[in-house]
Amino acid sequence: MSETATDVRARGRRADAVRNRAAILSAAAELYAERGVEISMDGVAVAAGVSNATLYRNFATRDDLLVEMMRDGIAELLGEARQVAATSAPREALDEWLFRLTWHLRTWHGMPGRVVDALADPDSPMRLACAPLQDWTADLMAAAVSRAQVSAGTSPGEVFELATLLSWGIDRYGDTPERARRRVQTAFAGLLAGADPQ
């Protein structure tokens, strides 16, 4: 059956939609790297070469766009963490996770602040995006506590909040990975002061 004019127009609209979304994400990635996540949505639209209506049709809010930008990074971070957990004692896995989590949360300037805001807003898409990170933190802590390898006096929520605050400091001071790791280890020294790894 031959393609109708309506089919051709519909195919063209779908192709345009795919190109527009890709342009938005590409522009956002460049702007986030240069100026941080507080860049205005108007700025993203201009850089992407799309109208505001097109931008908001794809991403209703700045947090919706940020969540999409975070998606691959979160999946990669969790994959790395699972590999570490499979080959390390619980305390060692938790120690490494706390560094990688904190380092990840400063991927773009201003991102830690958006995470802090999201944790206080139950309806925030950012809060939902961060849930797997919080869950993994809780799982690693539970494994380490069960083997008396870390202190049991701190909740996973408090640990995640501290990691977010540390990521702000790492972003603010422009830490190298080595300096960031020292900062994280110092901040969590009390938590990790359990028995020697078994």
What is the per-residue pLDDT across 23-57, written as a single tens digit (0 to 9) for each?
999 999 999 999 999 999 999 999 999 999 999 99
**Tokens representing 21?**
């979304």
Q: Which amino acid is at 143?
A: A
Of the candidates 80, 93, 82, the residue with the CA atom closest to the CA atom of residue 144: 93
Q: Would you place residue 12 in the very low, low, confident or very high pLDDT band (cuts 50, 70, 90)? A: low
Question: What is the C-alpha to C-alpha distance for residues 43 and 40, in angstroms, rounded to an integer?
Answer: 5
Report which secondary-structure segment, H or E, holds 44: helix 41-48
Per-residue confidence (pLDDT) for residue 21, from 0 to 100:
96
Span 56-72, average pLDDT: 95
Task: Just give the CATH number of 62-198.
Answer: 1.10.357.10
Q: Would you place residue 196 in the very low, low, confident or very high pLDDT band (cuts 50, 70, 90)? A: very low
Of the candidates 138, 140, 129, the residue with the CA atom closest to the CA atom of residue 156: 138
Which residue is it, tokens 């977010």? 164
What is the per-residue pLDDT across 95-142, written as a single tens digit (0 to 9) for each?
999 999 999 999 999 999 999 999 889 899 999 999 999 999 999 999
Question: What is the C-alpha to C-alpha distance for residues 90 and 22, in angstroms, rounded to an integer?
Answer: 40
What is the per-residue pLDDT across 141-193, written as a single tens digit (0 to 9) for each?
999 999 888 888 889 999 999 999 999 999 999 999 999 999 999 999 988 87
**Model pTM?**
0.86
Per CATH, 1-60 and 62-198 having the same topology is answered no
Q: Would you place residue 15 in the very low, low, confident or very high pLDDT band (cuts 50, 70, 90)? A: confident
Per-residue confidence (pLDDT) for residue 72, from 0 to 100:
94
**Tokens representing 46?**
């201009």
**Tokens representing 45?**
């639209």
Three-state SS for 38? coil
Question: What is the C-alpha to C-alpha distance for residues 157 and 76, in angstroms, rounded to an integer?
Answer: 22
Largest CA distance in the chain: 73
Gap between the terminal Cα atoms of the chain: 69
Task: Just give the CATH number of 1-60.
Answer: 1.10.10.60
Delimit the domains of the chain by residue range.
1-60, 62-198
Phi, psi of 86 (to 5 degrees): -75, -20
Which residue is it, tokens 């059956």? 1
| Contact status, residue 112 vs residue 171, Cβ threshold 8 Å | yes
